[in-house]
Amino acid sequence: MNTASLNKSDVALIGIMSDANSSYMSGAALAPDLIRESLHCESSNRYSEHGIDLASHPRFLDVGNREIEADPTSFMQIEGHIAEILEQDALPLVLGGDHSITYPVMRAINRFYGPVNILHFDAHPDLYDDFEGNPYSHASPLARVMEEGLAGRLVPVGIRTLSKHLREQVVRFGVEVHEMWNLDIESVGRDFDGPVYLSIDLDALDPAYAPGVSHHEPGGMSVRDVLGIIQQLPNEIVGADIVEYNPTRDINGMTGMVAAKILKEVAGKMLRDS
Ligand code: MN
Ligand code: MN
C-alpha cells in the first residue's frame, strides 16, 4: 500500500533493502521479505503476547519495500522514505537492511520529534568515527546520530566488543552503555523521559538464538531478555528498526522467526500505547 493512505497512529511496516555499507559480508538487503514470510508462517499466529492480533489490526499496515542503491545520495534518500510515513502522523517500523540505515532513519525522526531517546540493542556500539574510510558504515551510524545531535539519550544494551577507540567515543558522546558482562536486565530502559526510538540489531542476541547475522559475537542476550525489556518499557515508542538479519547465514530460518517474534512484540506495544 501507499504511504499516502496512512492515518494517525498507524504502525507502518517498511522494508529497506540496503546492505552496501556492511563491512564484512552482504545479505541483509534480502531480510525484509523473509522476516515477513516468518511473520505470516502458519506455524504460529500473529498475536503479541499481550493479545494484539497483527493479522486483523486496522492500524498495522505494510507499505512494502524500498530498494536502495549503493551510492551515498541514494542511501540518504532513506530519510525521505521514512519522512513520508511521519508526515501522515504514522509510526515507522523499519526492517533492514544493515545497521547503517539507522542514521538516515533518525534524521527523519529528528525532523518530526526533535532529539528522542534511543534504546539500542547490539553486540557493538556502532560508534566508529568511520570504518575502513566509510562514514556511512554499519559500524558508524550512532556516531553520525550523536555528532548531529539527533538523539536525546543513547542507551545501548548487549554490548560486548568495546575497543579503546570505542570506549573513547562512548565518553565523547555521553553514551550510557549497558555492557553484557554485568548486565542488569531489570535496570534497562526504566528511566527514559519522553518517547523512545528502538534500534534492534539482531546480533545483540547470542548466536545460539540468532545465527543469521553477519557478525557472530558469543555471550549475548536471550530472546526473552530482549522481549522483556521491550514489553516493560514504560514509554511510548515513536519508531523502531530491526536490522542485520542476514538470511545467507541463517539455519532453518530460525533467526527470521526470532526477527518476526520481536516484530510482533514491538508492533504490539506500539499499537497498545498509541
Ligand atoms: Mn549494529
Ligand atoms: Mn552489531
The pLDDT tens digits for 166-200 are 999 999 999 999 999 999 999 999 999 999 999 99
111 burial type by CB count under 10 A (0-12 exposed, 13-18 middle, 19+ buried): middle
Ligand 1 centroid to residue 87 C-alpha, Å: 27
Q: Does residue 130 register a pLDDT over 90? A: no
Ligand 1 centroid to residue 98 C-alpha, Å: 8
3-state secondary structure of 87: coil
Task: Give me the residue spans of the domains in the chain.
Answer: 3-273
Ligand 1 centroid to residue 142 C-alpha, Å: 9
Predicted pLDDT at 63:
98
Cα(142)–Cα(27) distance, integer angstroms: 21
Q: Does residue 163 register a pLDDT over 90? A: yes
The 10s digit of each residue's pLDDT in 230-248 is 999 999 999 999 999 999 9
- Sequence-separated (6 or more) residues with CB below 8 Å from residue 249: 25, 27, 211, 212, 213, 214, 255
Q: Which whole-number Å values give the CA distances from 37 to 95, 164, 193, in the listed order?
A: 13, 40, 36
The C-alpha cell of 108 is what? 527523519
Predicted pLDDT at 1:
78
Ligand 2 centroid to residue 8 C-alpha, Å: 32
Share of the chain above pLDDT 90, in %: 97
pLDDT tier for residue 164 given thresholds of 50, 70 and 90: very high
Predicted pLDDT at 274:
85
Q: Does residue 110 register a pLDDT over 90? A: yes
Mean pLDDT of 144-149: 98
Ligand 1 centroid to residue 4 C-alpha, Å: 31
Cα(94)–Cα(252) distance, integer angstroms: 23
Q: Which fold has domain 3-273?
A: Arginase; Chain A (3.40.800)
Amino acid letter at 166?
L
Ligand 2 centroid to residue 161 C-alpha, Å: 9
Q: Does residue 228 register a pLDDT over 90? A: yes
Predicted pLDDT at 4:
92
Looking at all shown ligands, the one closest to residue 102's CA atom is 1
3-state secondary structure of 233: coil
Ligand 1 centroid to residue 138 C-alpha, Å: 6
